[in-house]
Amino acid sequence: MATLVNGSATADWPGRYFHIDQILDKPGPRTDPGFAAGAEAPFLRDQAKILVIGAGGLGCEILANLALTGFKHIHVIDMDTIDISNLNRQFLFRSKDVGKSKAIVAADFIMQRVPGVEVTPYFGKIQDKGDDYYMQFNLVICGLDSVEARRWINATLVNLVDPENPESLKPLIDGGTEGFKGQARVILPTITSCYECSLDMLNKQTAFPICTIANTPRLPEHCIEWASVLEWPRVHGDKKMDTDDPEHISWLYKTAASRAKEFNIEGVTWSLTQGVVKNIIPAIASTNAIIAAACCNEAFKIATSSAAYLNNYFMLIGTDGIYSYTFEHEKRADCPVCGGESLDFPISMEVTVEELIDMLIEKQDIQIKKPSLSTPTRQIYLQAPPQLEQATRPNLEKKVSELVPGGGEVTVTASTLPFSLSLNIIYN
């Protein structure tokens, strides 16, 4: 039996990891050349420190899998609190936990259920932590539902890499689900394709015409978009909407419901309001389980060198039967995060700065919200602070060709992303 300290088990008992040790105690046909039979278990159980980002549908599965596999030093970050709608698939939570931090509750549950595992929670945003925090981990696993958060951690881990310090390279395992579809991928920052390299693979978000949502709404989604896009700025002015703030979602829900009643439209609910403003697609528990298992399998292989890890993209499609496929996603030479080359950007001589900004927002392989533009010698348009936005606003109506010569470089930045994009302007 395990030793009890303060009422909790801290040591292992004979045979606890019997099945896992069958893999670690002897080499196999797909074993990495650096694999040391019998010597990998101490690293896995005593030294490896792993970070899980997200404690929702995927995160709950990932935390349980890691703890039962033998990882004993786990950290988890999540900024969300538990909602009653989470309980049907996020199995670490109970009714009594509604309203509490997902990270804290998940960590407590795992430590109570799996003796000897230490799970350190952080209730907050990944952006709250600096480079020193991320440097302490051997692996990072993402179970996020946000593209922006994925882009942020991807860029952060790429920026951490120091060619002269191998310990600075932190493998990133990213999992994602969308209904019956899912994907898992292994990213070795600066070595393999990063998350930003594959941005053009994302489904384009549904956009509703402004004239429809303003004048002739027909769907509950139209009413929600009206509340968030048109009514919020009118009522709240420059106050930024936080889609993770329950009070903001509540205001949107009530406003959209009132609008729907006015036009005899049914179907506006709290969950749909969240889904529209956060682009959430209903989660399927079985898809979460499969993708979490794939992510943890890769974490185990990387931590122990017991088998070749994924190179580098696994996709699952379960809409009609079950289909899975693996392939190597290639690096982009002009990737703004890991590529290093400027992106050639052909435009007409007649394109205005405002039109260029719209093109950057719409372009699938860029997708930067609220971009600010500058050149090495001048500020073209800055989204913030308000004084600079007002000072550069007249440039929106000017042609880009009046401000940037052919072959000139434009730097694009956004407050939500920790990197800048360099455009090489080419006039048609």
Q: What is the CATH number of the domain that holds 416?
A: 3.10.290.20
Query: Do strands 118-123 and 139-142 pair parallel, antiparallel, or not at all (unpaired)?
Result: unpaired
Is the Cα torsion angle 38, 43, 46, 48 positive or negative in sign?
A: negative
Domain membership of residue 338 (yes or no) is no
Token duo for residue 321: 């039967």
Residue with the bigger pLDDT between 288 and 44: it is 288
Token duo for residue 383: 């989204």
Domain check: are 143 and 290 in the same one? yes
Q: Is 211 a known active-site residue?
A: yes
What is the DSSP code string of 19-58?
HHHHHHSS--TT--TT--TTTHHHIIIII-EEEEE--SHH
Domain check: are 319 and 172 in the same one? yes
Domain check: are 162 and 237 in the same one? no
Domain check: are 417 and 358 in the same one? yes
Domain membership of residue 333 (yes or no) is no
pLDDT at 8 over 90: no
Taking only the tens place, the pLDDT of each residue in 297-308 is: 999 999 998 888
Total structural domains in the chain?
3
- In whole angstroms, give the CA distance from residue 234 to residue 229: 9
List, in sequence order, every residue forming a beta bridge with 323; answer none if it has no partner.
317
- In whole angstroms, give the CA distance from residue 306 to residue 30: 8
Domain check: are 96 and 135 in the same one? yes
CATH number, residue 198: 3.40.50.720
pLDDT in the model for residue 2: 43
Neighbours of 44 (CB within 10 A): 22
* Arithmetic mean of pLDDT, 219-223: 91
Residue with the bigger pLDDT between 366 and 251: it is 251
pLDDT band at 3 (very low <50, low <70, confident <90, very high): very low
Quick one: DSSP state of residue 179?
B
Structural domain boundaries enclosing 129: 18-203+283-327
Residue with the bigger pLDDT between 215 and 313: it is 313
What is the rounded average pLDDT for all residues in the chain?
Answer: 88
List, in sequence order, every residue forming a beta bridge with 343; answer none if it has no partner.
423
pLDDT band at 278 (very low <50, low <70, confident <90, very high): confident
Domain membership of residue 123 (yes or no) is yes
Domain membership of residue 307 (yes or no) is yes
Domain membership of residue 332 (yes or no) is no
Q: Which of 327, 351, 384 is where one domain is finished?
A: 327
What is the DSSP code string of 183-250?
EEEEE-TTTS--GGGGGGGSPPPP---HHHHHH---SHHHHHHIIIIIIHHHHHTTPPP-TT-HHHHH
pLDDT at 171 over 80: yes
Domain check: are 112 and 251 in the same one? no
Domain check: are 273 and 290 in the same one? no
CA-nearest of 367, 372, 370, 411 to 151 is: 367
Domain check: are 50 and 158 in the same one? yes
Domain check: are 245 and 293 in the same one? no
Taking only the tens place, the pLDDT of each residue in 105-126 is: 999 999 999 999 999 999 999 9
Taking only the tens place, the pLDDT of each residue in 360-373 is: 887 777 777 788 99
pLDDT band at 10 (very low <50, low <70, confident <90, very high): low
337 and 199 Cβ atoms separated by less than 8 Å: no
pLDDT at 208 over 70: no
Domain membership of residue 70 (yes or no) is yes
Contact partners, residue 15, CB within 8 Å, separation at least 6 = none
Residue 25, CA atoms < 13 Å, CB-side half-sphere? 6
Domain membership of residue 9 (yes or no) is no
Which residue in 60, 194, 211, 295 is the catalytic one? Answer: 211
Domain membership of residue 334 (yes or no) is no
Domain check: are 182 and 313 in the same one? yes
pLDDT band at 216 (very low <50, low <70, confident <90, very high): confident
CATH number, residue 222: 1.10.10.520
pLDDT in the model for residue 11: 67
Domain check: are 63 and 186 in the same one? yes
- In whole angstroms, give the CA distance from residue 190 to residue 160: 10
Domain check: are 261 and 126 in the same one? no
Question: For 85-89, 219-223, 275-279, which range has the lowest pLDDT when averaged over its residues?
Answer: 275-279
pLDDT in the model for residue 414: 82
Contact partners, residue 415, CB within 8 Å, separation at least 6 = 370, 383, 384
The pTM assigned to this predicted structure is 0.76
What's the burial of 34, exposed, middle or buried (CB within 10 Å: 0-12/13-18/19+)? exposed
| CA-based end-to-end distance of the chain | 75
